[in-house]
A and B are shown apart, each in its own frame.
Chain A
Amino acid sequence: MNKIYRVLLSIFIITCLVGVLFSNATVVSSNDELSYKSYLPLILKNPPPQPPTTYGVSRYMNTVDPVKSYTYGCLAGTADLQLPGKQDKIIILAYGQPWGQNGQYGVWYYSGTFASTAVIAESAKQFAYGYWVCTGSDTESTIELVIGTSNFARYENGVCTSGSWFCTTAIAYEHGKYWALMVKEVSDWVVKNGYSSQVSIAGGNDIEFLWNTPAITKAWVQGYDAFDENKYKLYNFGSCDACPYVGSTWHPPANNWTMSDAYYVAWGAPPVWPIPEIYLTTGKNAKEWAYLSYWGTINNRSKIQFPGTLTQWQACLQRGGCVVYDTNGNILYGSNNTPEQGWQQLLNEINRWPATAQSTIRWMTDIRWSP
């Protein structure tokens, strides 16, 4: 080959390679959420979506002590400060079951006593402040801080027991209302003090079908929605218990929940976004949530946008109980997905159908016990 052709061919190949290195393959659409895209031909690479580089450390809040809450926030902030570049995480603080006493609303938290929404708000503020302070020179990293309760009440033979409080739709609505007002108060405090460049506040509820009826749970969501001023998200970080999934679509969800109920508390209600528990190594949780989204699309509803996934890998390391063995001691399956496994499982499942597809999932978070 003539020398000049060899030189020109080399320049051509090098240019192509450089172009590939510095270009983003998803070039045609400016919308990352469109999953099916046309690509420029021939040489642009199309790497599979990767999970976020790190996960947010969510916590079962065994305490409402402001000092401890500040410390936990500071630990999260220090971790982000030490990581290169901008971090973007969601952190759930799970405070426990809804409760009320002496005219106050709050939670019966894990240490076994009542904490009012005022006390919880102070705990959440100190977590937010601790994060903001301890990110120090990193002023770009952000967290979405979720103040969470649950839909738990104890039932025996279908009757809410005397040891439970969260037993009627009226109580549930009021509790949802006061939870929204608390979220607003914490958010206003964060905004007023200038921390909102790095911290945003949302409400949350660990909605598990086995824990309560759809009527009571939906009443709580409606109470929250009525007082959230269209400003504060509500994350459902629960499970889709016994929900149908591909390969097993014949049955309804557990405990007399319908798919319509499940969809409402996952996405249908205006403030709700799901951060689903994707615990099972078998992928069943991911299949259930993906099928719920698919069910929506074939029932005149929109697909669910999943902003994140929740796993309990750290808690499993701390306490065990997450693996089932056969009689020979071999692992059959577990509920100890790593954050990356949970994220990948859900992404794969929602991309089973074009109608439910997402190109990526923004966050992954993993819950632990707080010592």
Chain B
Amino acid sequence: MENQKKYRTIIILIGIIIVLMSTVFVANARNVTNEVIDPQIKNQLDALSIELESISDLEQQKSLQEKMNILQYQEEVRVAAKENPPQKPTNICAAMPKSSSPEGVRPTGILPGAPGPFSSQILQVENQWQEQIEGYWMHVYAGISGLDDNLGGVMLWIEDVESGGFFADPQPDGALRIISAVGSRLELQSVSGNFRYFDVLAQQFVTDMTTEVTKVDLPAPFAFDICGQN
């Protein structure tokens, strides 16, 4: 009797263990069956498919179907390329292109507002100024912060170096606009008509167009050519 109870307990426990192990296998089963298709793409396709079933609007259905077509094309192309991959060059420098595109002539001075390398959430640009000074291309964008309706400022971007940045109007008075430039000194005006002055080389707002200030030393330009070809 005692032995029978023991055996029954053992059998029950073994049964539980088998169920748990089966759970693990089932859990991982999809990883085996879907090896060919990228799981990320499959997830996106599955989700789109579910949405497609739940939407009655024809335009919406067409849109979702096209999104699925694009994903399928993308995946077909990837899988096809994997079947017969070309040999990669071992010398990354030999693979580098030899020539650079000739650049067009840049306008200089005060220009209409173009978007700088930043979002309108950073600065909504009124206008800009650009010149090459001491061998560096310098760009100043004037406008208003995208974060604060009253905070005017300028964004200074100096090409090829890690320098510059956003400079807030020391006496915030709405958007700033560049109205004149002498050398590296800019005259700006706020929406209320007040004047501000910014020295590009000193990277700071100053009191007028003439007071001398110490310029900021710029770091060496970033070395783009990892192979020293140019």
Tell me the A residues contacting B by CB distance below 8 Å: 4-5, 8, 11-12, 15-16, 19, 22-25, 27, 30-34, 40, 43-44, 60, 62, 64-68, 70-71, 74, 88, 94, 96-97, 108, 110-115, 119, 122-123, 126, 129-130, 132-136, 139, 142, 150, 152, 154, 161-164, 191, 193-197, 200, 206, 208, 210-211, 230-233, 239, 241, 267-271, 273, 277, 279-280, 300-303, 305, 307, 312, 315, 318-322, 324, 333-335, 358, 362, 369, 371
A61–B76 Cα distance when bound, in Å, is: 30
Give residues of chain B (79-101) contacting chain A, Cβ–Cβ below 8 Å: 80-82, 84-86, 88-90, 92, 95-97, 99-101
Q: Are A19 and B21 in contact (CB under 8 A)?
A: yes
Q: Which residue of B17, B117, B120 contacts A62 across the interface (Cβ within 8 Å)?
A: B117
Q: Known: A30-B30, A371-B162. Contact between A154 and B17, CB under 8 A?
A: no
B182 at interface, CB cutoff 8 A:
no
B120 and A239: CB pair below 8 A?
A: yes
Chain B contacts for A23, CB-based, 8 A? 23-24, 27-28
Compute how far the CA of A126 lies from the CA of B56 in the bound complex, rounded to whole angstroms. Answer: 44
- Decide: A300 near B60, CB < 8 A? Known: A154-B113, A239-B120: yes
- A67 and B119 contact, Cβ closer than 8 Å, known pairs A24-B27, A268-B63: no
Cα distance A334–B34 in the bound complex, in angstroms: 43
In this assembly, does B191 line the interface, its C-beta being within 8 Å of a C-beta of chain A? no
Chain B residues whose CB sits within 8 angstroms of the CB of A154 once the complex forms: 112-114
Task: Give the residue of B28, B30, B95, B164 whose beta carbon is less than 8 angstroms from that of A319.
Answer: B164
Instruction: Apart from A32-B39, A67-B229, A112-B139, list 12 A-B contacts with CB within 8 A.
Output: A11-B13, A30-B34, A33-B44, A43-B20, A67-B97, A130-B96, A196-B81, A197-B81, A268-B63, A302-B54, A312-B119, A335-B122
Q: A23, A88, A150: which has the most chain B beta carbons within 10 Å?
A: A23
Q: Which residues of B contact A (CB under 8 A)?
A: 6, 9-10, 13, 16-17, 20-21, 23-24, 26-28, 30, 34, 39-40, 43-44, 46-48, 50-52, 54-57, 59-60, 62-64, 66-67, 69-70, 73-74, 77-78, 80-82, 84-86, 88-90, 92, 95-97, 99-101, 103-107, 111-124, 130, 137, 139, 145-148, 151, 153, 155, 157, 159-162, 164-166, 168, 221-222, 224-226, 229-230
Give the Cβ gap from A144 to chain B, nearest Cβ, in Å: 8
Q: Which of B60, B147, B160 contacts A301 (CB 8 A)?
A: B60
On whether the beta carbons of A163 and B112 are closer than 8 Å, the reply is: yes
Contact A270 B67 (CB under 8 A): yes
- Interchain nearest-CB distance for B21 vs A (Å): 7
Q: Are B96 and A15 in contact (CB under 8 A)?
A: no
Chain A nearest CB: distance from B53 CB in Å? 10
